[in-house]
C-alpha cells in the first residue's frame, strides 16, 4: 500500500460504525428519559421535580445525538475516499518505480503527477470531513487542536492518518462535548439509580428508612449504584477513559534546587507531623495549580545526616501527592488535556479503570524512581482527595511496584481498593463531605486500617480542614488511648523525622505547560 497516503480505511470505517452505535444508544436513552418525563403515575412536588429533571436530561442527551451521527457519516465517507486515494497512490508509486528502473523520465513525471492527485484527493476528503464535524460543534475559537496534537500523534490506532485538520475537529468534539457529557453521564447514573431504587417497593422502603435515619448511608447506597451503572450510561466516559490510557506519560523534572534541601524540624513541629502532612498537600496544590502537578519526595535522615533505614538496611521515604487541581473545563487555561495530570479524567480513571495507570500515576512512579526510591524501600504515601485515591491505588498494585508500608489519606473514597494487610492505613473523613462516599462502599476495617470520622471545623472537603482535624485527632497527646489507632501510629511515626531531605518534582500533560 501507499506510504504517501497514510491511514487505515478499515479502522476509520469501524470507528464510524461504533459512533453510529453510540448515537443509537443515546437516542434510545433520550427516548426512555422522555417517556419517564411523560409518565403520570405519581403526583406531588417530588414526582414533578423528577419528571422535570428527566425531561431536561433527555433534551441534553438528544442534543448530543446529531454530533455522533454526523461524525459517523463524515468518517464513513472519508473511509471510502481514503481507500480509493491509497489505491491510486499505490499504483502511481509502483508505476514510478518501474519507470525509474527503465529510465523513462516522462513516465516517471506522469506517475508523480498521479501520485500528487491522489494525495490532494486525500487532503480534500479530510478537510471535507472536518468541515462537516465542525458544523455540529458549538465553538472552535479556542484552538483545541493545539491541546491534542501530541495525543493524536501517539494514539496511532483509531483514525490513524486522518490528517491534522480532522484530528483537531474530533479533538474538539471529545474534549468539549464528551467531557461535559461525562458529567452528564454521572448525573444520569445517579438519576437512574434513584429511579430504580424508588421503583422497587423493597428498595424504596429501605431507601426511605435510610433517608430518615442516616442520610449519609442513603447517599452512599445511591452512589454505589450510580458507580456500578456509570460505565453503561456514558459513551463519553468510555472515550475519556480511553484517552487517559493513551495519553503519554508526562515528562518529570526536579524543581530547583536540584538535589533537594535539608529540612530540620523542632520537636514541637515533629509532634504536629500528621496535620503538617495535609498542610503540605495544600501547599503542593497551590504550587502546581491547573498548569502542572508538584509531588514532594522526602528521604528520612538521622540526626547525623545519614539515611534512616529499616531492619534490612533499606532507606525510608515519604511521598506527598497533590489533589485535583485541573477540572478540564476552564476555557481560559485548562480546556482539554493540557496542564496538570491530576485532573477530572485522572479522577475517573483511578476509580473506574483498574486495568491501566493514568498519566498522573505513571508520572508519580517516575518521580519516585528519579528520587532514588528502590522497589524494596519502605514508603509512606500522603494524599487528600485524588491524592488519597492515588495513594490507595499504588498501595493496592499487584504486583507491587513499590514497598508501600503506610498511607495517610483524608477525604478520599478508598474503600473499594484491595489494600493488603501489610499496609498501615489511616483514613479521615468529615461529616458532610460527600467525596469519601463516591465509591459507594463502606469502610472495611482490618488489622492495619483505621477510619476516623469527625465533624469538620470548616469547609468539609478541604485539605486545610483535614489538616486541622489531623492535628486534633492524630497529633493530640491523648491519641494513643485508642489501641487500634495507637498501633497504626507506631508504624506511621517511623516515616517522619527531625531531619529530612526534601525534593520536589513537577510534570504536566504537555511539555509547553511547564514554563
Phi/psi of residue 501, nearest 5 degrees: -100, 115
CA distance 444 to 447: 10
For residue 458, pLDDT beyond 50? yes
Same domain, 334 and 438: yes
How far apart are the two ends of the chain, measured CA to CA in Å? 42
CA–CA separation, 492 and 426 (whole Å) = 9
Residues 158 and 307 in one domain: no
Both 366 and 231 in a single domain?
A: no
- Domain end position, chosen among 209, 227, 246: 246
Please state which of the ranges 142-156, 210-224, 284-298, 338-352 shows the lowest mean pLDDT: 142-156
Are 275 and 206 within one domain?
Answer: no
Region label for 405, one of left (φ > 0), alpha (ψ between -120 and 50) or beta (otherwise): alpha
Does 396 lie in the same domain as 352? yes
Residue 199: pLDDT above 60? no
Distance CA 489, CA 109 (A): 80
The reported pLDDT for the residue numbered 130 is 72
The number of domains in the chain is 2
**What is the average per-residue pLDDT within 385-404?**
95
> Is 357 inside any structural domain?
yes
Consecutive H or E run containing 263: strand 261-264
On whether both 174 and 44 belong to a single domain, the answer is: yes
Whether 234 and 291 share a structural domain = no
Q: Is residue 3 part of a domain?
A: no
Domain of residue 154, residue span: 9-246
Q: Is residue 242 located within the same domain as residue 257?
A: no
Residue 441 belongs to a domain: yes
Residues 397 and 433 placed together within one structural domain of the fold: yes
291 with 396, same domain?
yes
**Residue 275 near residue 467, CB atoms below 8 Å:** yes
Lowest mean pLDDT among 109-123, 195-209, 226-240, 440-454: 195-209
Position 278 in a domain: yes
The backbone region for 83, taken as left when phi is positive above 0, alpha when psi lies in -120 to 50, beta otherwise, is: alpha
Per-residue pLDDT at 236:
54
Contact assessment for residue 28 and residue 109, using Cβ atoms and an 8 Å cutoff: no
Strands 378-384 and 293-301: unpaired
Q: Average pLDDT in the 219-244 region? A: 56
Please identify, among 246, 265, 294, the residue that sits at the C-terminal boundary of a domain: 246
Q: Which of 119-123, 391-395, 416-420 has the lowest mean pLDDT?
A: 119-123
Mean pLDDT of the region 120-138: 73
**Burial of 485 from C-beta contacts in 10 A (0-12 / 13-18 / 19+):** middle
**Quick one: 465 exposed, middle or buried, by C-beta within 10 A (0-12, 13-18, 19+)?**
buried
Assess if residue 4 is contained within a domain: no
Does residue 2 belong to any structural domain of this protein?
Answer: no
pLDDT tens, position by position, 73-86: 877 887 888 788 88
Specify whether the CB–CB gap between 126 and 38 falls below 8 A. Answer: no
pLDDT class of 25 with cuts at 50, 70, 90: low
Per the prediction, the chain carries an average pLDDT of: 75
Separation CA 271–CA 170 (nearest Å): 54
- What lies within 8 Å, CB to CB, of 29 at 6+ separation is 61, 188, 233
Q: What is the pTM of this model?
A: 0.60
> Which of 216, 246, 276 represents a domain boundary (last residue)?
246
For residue range 98-108, what is the model confidence (pLDDT) as tens digits?
999 999 999 98
Residues 242 and 312 in one domain: no
Which pLDDT band, with edges at 50, 70 and 90, does 264 fall under?
Answer: very high
Are residues 182 and 299 both part of a single domain?
A: no
Read off the pLDDT band of 500 (50, 70, 90).
Answer: very high
In-domain check, residue 312? yes
Amino acid at each position: 500500500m501507499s506510504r504517501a497516503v497514510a491511514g487505515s480505511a478499515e479502522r476509520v470505517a469501524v470507528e464510524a460504525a461504533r459512533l453510529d452505535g453510540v448515537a443509537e444508544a443515546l437516542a434510545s436513552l433520550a427516548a426512555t428519559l422522555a417517556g419517564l418525563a411523560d409518565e403520570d403515575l405519581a403526583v406531588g412536588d417530588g414526582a414533578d421535580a423528577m419528571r422535570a429533571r428527566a425531561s431536561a436530561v433527555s433534551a441534553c442527551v438528544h442534543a448530543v445525538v446529531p454530533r455522533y451521527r454526523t461524525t459517523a457519516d463524515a468518517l464513513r465517507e472519508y473511509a471510502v475516499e481514503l481507500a480509493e486515494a491509497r489505491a491510486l497512490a499505490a499504483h502511481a508509486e509502483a508505476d514510478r518505480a518501474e519507470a525509474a528502473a527503465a529510465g523513462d523520465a516522462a513516465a516517471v513525471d506522469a506517475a508523480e503527477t498521479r501520485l500528487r492527485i491522489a494525495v490532494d484527493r486525500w487532503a480534500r476528503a479530510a478537510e471535507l470531513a472536518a468541515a462537516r464535524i465542525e458544523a455540529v460543534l458549538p465553538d472552535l475559537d479556542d484552538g483545541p487542536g493545539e491541546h491534542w496534537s501530541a495525543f493524536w500523534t501517539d494514539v496511532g490506532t483509531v483514525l490513524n492518518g486522518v490528517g491534522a485538520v480532522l484530528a483537531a475537529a474530533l479533538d474538539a468534539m471529545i474534549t468539549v462535548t464528551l467531557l461535559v457529557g461525562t458529567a452528564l453521564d454521572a448525573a444520569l447514573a445517579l438519576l437512574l439509580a434513584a429511579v430504580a431504587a424508588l421503583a422497587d417497593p423493597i428498595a424504596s422502603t429501605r431507601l426511605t428508612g435510610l433517608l430518615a435515619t442516616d442520610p449519609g448511608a442513603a447517599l452512599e447506597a445511591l452512589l454505589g449504584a450510580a458507580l456500578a451503572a456509570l460505565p453503561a450510561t456514558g459513551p463519553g466516559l468510555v472515550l475519556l477513559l480511553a484517552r487517559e490510557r493513551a495519553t503519554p506519560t508526562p515528562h518529570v523534572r526536579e524543581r530547583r534546587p536540584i538535589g533537594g534541601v535539608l529540612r530540620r524540624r523542632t520537636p514541637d513541629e515533629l509532634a504536629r507531623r500528621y496535620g503538617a502532612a495535609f498542610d503540605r498537600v495544600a501547599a503542593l496544590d497551590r504550587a502546581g495549580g491547573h498548569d502542572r502537578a508538584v509531588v514532594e519526595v522526602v528521604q528520612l535522615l538521622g540526626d547525623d545526616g545519614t539515611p534512616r533505614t529499616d531492619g534490612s538496611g533499606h532507606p525510608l521515604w515519604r511521598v506527598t501527592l497533590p489533589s485535583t487541581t485541573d477540572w478540564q473545563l476552564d476555557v481560559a487555561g485548562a480546556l482539554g488535556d493540557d496542564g496538570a495530570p491530576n485532573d477530572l479524567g485522572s479522577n475517573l480513571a483511578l476509580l473506574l479503570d483498574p486495568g491501566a495507570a493514568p498519566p498522573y500515576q505513571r508520572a508519580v512512579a517516575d518521580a519516585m524512581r528519579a528520587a532514588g526510591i528502590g522497589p524494596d524501600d519502605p514508603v509512606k504515601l500522603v494524599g487528600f482527595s485524588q491524592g488519597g485515591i492515588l495513594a490507595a491505588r499504588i498501595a493496592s498494585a499487584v504486583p507491587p511496584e513499590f514497598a508501600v508500608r503506610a498511607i495517610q489519606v483524608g477525604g478520599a473514597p478508598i474503600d473499594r481498593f484491595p489494600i493488603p494487610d501489610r499496609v498501615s492505613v489511616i483514613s479521615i473523613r468529615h461529616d458532610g463531605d460527600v467525596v469519601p462516599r463516591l465509591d459507594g462502599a463502606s469502610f472495611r476495617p482490618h488489622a492495619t486500617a483505621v477510619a476516623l470520622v469527625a465533624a469538620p471545623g470548616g469547609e468539609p472537603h478541604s485539605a486545610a480542614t483535614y489538616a486541622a482535624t489531623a492535628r486534633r485527632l492524630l497529633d493530640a497527646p491523648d491519641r494513643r488511648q485508642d489501641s487500634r489507632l495507637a498501633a497504626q501510629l507506631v508504624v506511621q511515626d517511623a516515616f517522619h523525622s527531625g531531619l529530612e531531605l526534601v525534593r520536589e518534582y513537577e510534570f504536566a500533560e504537555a511539555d509547553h505547560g511547564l514554563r
